[in-house]
């Protein structure tokens, strides 16, 4: 009996929040038998995550979800940071058009509505089964899979088997605990009160028209503009304040009094949290893996918490797909921890630096902070983009040579075809791809090199008006500028849109293709396994 036939499912996903729903939906699209469980019976009806970025929206679009979630998504406004004396010291905005991935780079969304669409999408596949009100009790690994012991909503106990288990079950993850995956403390722990409001139309005009960070030592406050009339305040709690008492409506309205009165809107949610910076030391134990808040927790500044979880899911699923299909060895999954842990640590470090700046409680130190930020901006408010804060991949399943753009996100230009304009992924799909600069004199030779690899989609791309034969025509010069900026003529791109490697000529592209075919990963000391792509 084969391993696939010996188990009930290919993958058991524990947790049906955004990370689990995206993982289940992607596994479903790829044809894998998937069971997703959650101990809760419905989507949480209050907003928690509020921010998306263009990388995540690209994956949702690849899944066919863009149209369904678009009504619940709006562009993120710039975030203006105000210092001790109320002066503007820093502005964090989006990169300018033409947008590099084809979408608004930063967005806000309504989590209950979007999460419901993610669940609907996942359960639309006949090979995906969702069971709610089901609690995970234990996991037992065996050579051919994992046995999961479950308790149904009516208290009945039962077991199911799966080839792999993915824990997307939140910060207090049962999967992480059972698998013995310890958390590392990245040292950022602050008590905050998060307040979500549905603001009346008449009161909206009196509120800031951009998102804002009020970096006042007396009490730092963040203000975010959500979709439609949703507004969020994140308010630091001070020493001696009782978190549960501060959630009471009378105390909440006192804190909101500089902006609103109770007549100005509906109090949607008030919840106190301790914002943590934590990351799991290892994200896999055998056939058990973790993702999302089960693997990491980070402060909310620049709104990357849910984005990180969805990056985890997308990073893992294309690798797990190859392992489940038997075309890559189990040790390919080793790159999951390598890539995602380093990315989380680096991004969390950058978020911590911004958060510690915002949270400075000492007046003298806060004035020094304001002066330094203004000095960094040449005497003016410092201008940054959210996109420059997000790091590339530094290590893992990447080309051996650190060429230009290795580990970065590959752009998504708009392509003109048959009288219509479509984003690149709609034309090429989202598997392994080789993209060639159609303006290069060697474009034909570069494409010929790729022809021997039918598993890699290859295309030349050139700007509108180019005479390059058989090249896809981009309409805004996004990719031409990218090739010029990095000084390369070809890029090999992974299914999650990260650049495996770039080439300056045919010889380097040939090396990359051979490296992909012969790439070895260590499965145990002294043993290597070839990973064909």
Q: What is the CATH number of the domain that holds 19?
A: 3.50.50.60
- Distance between CA atoms of 286 and 309, rounded to whole angstroms? 20
Kindly state whether residues 207 and 313 are assigned to the same domain.
Answer: no
Kindly state whether residues 108 and 195 are assigned to the same domain.
Answer: no
Kindly state whether residues 442 and 322 are assigned to the same domain.
Answer: no
- Distance between CA atoms of 83 and 381, rounded to whole angstroms? 10
Kindly state whether residues 113 and 218 are assigned to the same domain.
Answer: no
Tell me the sheet residues that pair with 296: 279
pLDDT band at residue 108 using 50, 70 and 90 as cut-offs:
very high
Query: Which residues are CB-contacts of 73 (< 8 A; sequence separation ≥ 6)?
Result: 52, 57, 107, 108, 109, 114, 227
Q: Which domain covers residue 226, as residue numbers? A: 190-275
Pairing of strands 34-38, 128-132: parallel
Scanning the structure block, which residue is given the tokens 């001070």? 238
Kindly state whether residues 249 and 337 are assigned to the same domain.
Answer: no
Mean pLDDT calculated for residue range 6-22: 96
Mean pLDDT calculated for residue range 204-224: 96
Mean pLDDT calculated for residue range 402-418: 94
Kindly state whether residues 217 and 288 are assigned to the same domain.
Answer: no
Tell me the sheet residues that pair with 509: none
Instruction: State the distance between the two ends of the chain, measured CA to CA, in whole angstroms.
Output: 27
Could you give the dihedral angle defined by the CA atoms of residues 461, 463, 466 and 471, in that order, rounded to the nearest 10 degrees?
Answer: 20
pLDDT of residue 467: 76
pLDDT of residue 503: 97
Examine residue 40 and state whether it is found in any structural domain, yes or no: yes
- Distance between CA atoms of 121 and 275, rounded to whole angstroms? 31
Examine residue 286 and state whether it is found in any structural domain, yes or no: yes
Kindly state whether residues 225 and 164 are assigned to the same domain.
Answer: no
Mean pLDDT calculated for residue range 390-400: 94
Mean pLDDT calculated for residue range 207-212: 96
pLDDT of residue 527: 41
Asked whether residue 300 carries a pLDDT value surpassing 90, the answer given is no
CATH of the domain at 198: 3.30.9.10
CATH of the domain at 524: 3.40.30
pLDDT of residue 465: 82
Indicate the number of domains in the chain.
3
In contact, 119 and 410? CB cutoff 8 Å: no
DSSP for 416-473, please give it. Answer: EETTEEEEHHHHH-SSSEEEEETTSTTHHHHHHHHHT-TTSEEEEEEETT---TT-EE
Burial class (CB in 10 A: 0-12, 13-18, 19+), 418: exposed
Mean pLDDT calculated for residue range 312-320: 98
The mean-pLDDT minimum among 138-147, 230-239, 351-360 falls in: 351-360
Mean pLDDT calculated for residue range 195-202: 97
Closest CA to 347 of 317, 320, 312, 381: 312
pLDDT band at residue 355 using 50, 70 and 90 as cut-offs:
confident
pLDDT of residue 518: 66
Angle between helices 18-29 and 305-324 (to 10 degrees): 30
Kindly state whether residues 456 and 321 are assigned to the same domain.
Answer: no
pLDDT of residue 440: 94
What is the overall mean pLDDT for the chain? 93
pLDDT of residue 415: 97
Examine residue 64 and state whether it is found in any structural domain, yes or no: yes
Residue 354, preceding bond cis, omega within 30 degrees? no
CA distances from 35 to 16, 21, 116, 168 (A): 10, 11, 17, 13
Mean pLDDT calculated for residue range 437-457: 93
Examine residue 198 and state whether it is found in any structural domain, yes or no: yes
pLDDT of residue 1: 34
Segment 26-38, tens digit of pLDDT: 999 999 999 999 9
Angle between helices 305-324 and 54-62 (to 10 degrees): 40
- Measured at the CA of 319, the angle between CA 318 and CA 324, to 5 degrees, comes to 100
DSSP alpha helix (H) spans, 325-430? 334-358, 363-376, 386-389, 424-428
pLDDT band at residue 516 using 50, 70 and 90 as cut-offs:
confident
- Distance between CA atoms of 128 and 462, rounded to whole angstroms? 40
Examine residue 456 and state whether it is found in any structural domain, yes or no: yes
Give strand ranges (E) for 68-134. 73-75, 79-82, 88-93, 106-109, 128-132
CA distances from 264 to 76, 199, 271, 319, 513 (A): 23, 6, 20, 50, 61
pLDDT of residue 271: 94
The mean-pLDDT minimum among 2-11, 400-409, 499-508 falls in: 2-11
In contact, 397 and 315? CB cutoff 8 Å: no
pLDDT of residue 2: 45
Kindly state whether residues 150 and 213 are assigned to the same domain.
Answer: no
Closest CA to 430 of 448, 454, 457, 449: 457
Mean pLDDT calculated for residue range 97-123: 96
Out of 275, 298, 328, pick the residue that ends a domain.
275
In contact, 312 and 56? CB cutoff 8 Å: no
Segment 470-495, tens digit of pLDDT: 899 999 999 999 999 999 999 999 99
Kindly state whether residues 179 and 141 are assigned to the same domain.
Answer: yes
Kindly state whether residues 141 and 12 are assigned to the same domain.
Answer: yes
* Residue % of the chain over a pLDDT of 70: 96
pLDDT of residue 519: 60
pLDDT band at residue 526 using 50, 70 and 90 as cut-offs:
very low
Cα-to-chain-centroid distance, residue 46: 21
Examine residue 403 and state whether it is found in any structural domain, yes or no: no
Out of 230, 259, 275, pick the residue that ends a domain.
275
pLDDT of residue 520: 43
Asked whether residue 523 carries a pLDDT value surpassing 50, the answer given is no
Mean pLDDT calculated for residue range 40-53: 92
pLDDT of residue 372: 96
Examine residue 510 and state whether it is found in any structural domain, yes or no: yes
pLDDT of residue 454: 86
Examine residue 131 and state whether it is found in any structural domain, yes or no: yes
Segment 144-193, tens digit of pLDDT: 999 999 999 999 999 999 999 999 999 999 999 999 999 999 888 889 99
Kindly state whether residues 438 and 509 are assigned to the same domain.
Answer: yes
Out of 275, 306, 334, pick the residue that ends a domain.
275
Closest CA to 347 of 385, 315, 393: 393
């Amino acid at each position: 009996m084969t391993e696939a036939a010996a188990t009930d499912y290919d993958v058991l996903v524990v947790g049906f929040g955004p990370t689990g729903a995206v993982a289940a939906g992607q596994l479903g699209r790829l044809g894998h038998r998937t069971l997703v469980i959650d101990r809760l019976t419905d989507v949480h009806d209050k907003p928690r995550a509020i921010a998306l970025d263009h990388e995540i929206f690209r994956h949702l679009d690849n899944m066919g979800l863009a149209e369904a979630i678009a009504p619940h998504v709006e562009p993120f406004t710039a975030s203006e940071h105000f210092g001790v004396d109320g002066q503007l010291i820093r502005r964090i905005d989006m990169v300018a058009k033409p947008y590099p991935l084809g979408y608004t780079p930063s967005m806000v969304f309504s989590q209950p509505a979007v999460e419901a669409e993610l669940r609907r999408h996942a359960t639309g596949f006949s090979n995906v089964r969702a069971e709610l009100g089901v609690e995970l009790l234990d996991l037992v690994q065996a050579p051919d899979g994992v046995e999961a012991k479950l308790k149904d909503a009516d208290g009945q106990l039962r077991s199911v088997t799966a080839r792999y288990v993915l824990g997307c079950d939140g910060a207090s993850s049962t999967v992480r605990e059972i698998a013995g995956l310890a958390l590392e403390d990245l040292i950022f722990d602050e008590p905050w009160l998060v307040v979500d409001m549905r603001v009346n139309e008449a009161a909206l005009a009196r509120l800031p028209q951009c998102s804002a960070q009020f970096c006042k030592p007396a009490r730092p406050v963040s203000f975010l503009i959500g979709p439609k009339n949703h507004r969020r305040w994140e308010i630091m709690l001070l020493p001696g304040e009782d978190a549960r008492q501060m959630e009471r409506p009378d105390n909440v309205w006192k804190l909101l009094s500089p902006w609103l009165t109770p007549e100005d809107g509906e109090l949607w949610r008030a919840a106190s949290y301790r914002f943590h910076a934590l990351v799991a030391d290892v994200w896999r134990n055998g056939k058990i893996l973790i993702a999302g808040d089960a693997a990491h927790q980070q402060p909310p500044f620049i709104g990357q918490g849910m984005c990180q979880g969805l990056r985890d899911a997308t990073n893992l699923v294309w690798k797990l797909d190859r392992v489940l299909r038997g075309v890559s060895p189990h040790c390919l999954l080793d790159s999951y921890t390598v890539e995602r842990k380093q990315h989380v640590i680096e991004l969390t470090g950058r978020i911590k630096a911004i958060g510690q700046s915002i949270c400075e409680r000492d007046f003298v130190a806060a004035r020094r902070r304001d002066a330094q930020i203004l000095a960094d901006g040449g005497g003016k408010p410092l201008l940054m983009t959210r996109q420059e804060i997000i790091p590339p991949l530094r290590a893992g399943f990447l080309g051996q040579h650190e060429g230009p753009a290795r580990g970065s996100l590959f752009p998504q230009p708009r392509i003109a075809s048959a009288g219509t304009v479509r984003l690149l992924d709609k034309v090429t799909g989202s598997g392994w791809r080789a993209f060639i600069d159609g303006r290069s004199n060697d474009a034909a030779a570069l494409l010929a090199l790729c022809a021997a690899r039918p598993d890699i989609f290859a295309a030349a791309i050139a700007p509108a008006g180019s005479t390059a034969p058989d090249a896809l025509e981009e309409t805004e010069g996004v990719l031409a500028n990218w090739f010029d900026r990095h000084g390369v003529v070809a890029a090999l791109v992974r299914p999650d849109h990260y650049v495996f490697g770039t080439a300056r000529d045919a010889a380097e592209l040939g090396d990359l293709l051979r490296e992909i075919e012969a790439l070895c990963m260590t499965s145990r000391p002294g043993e290597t396994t070839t990973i064909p792509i």
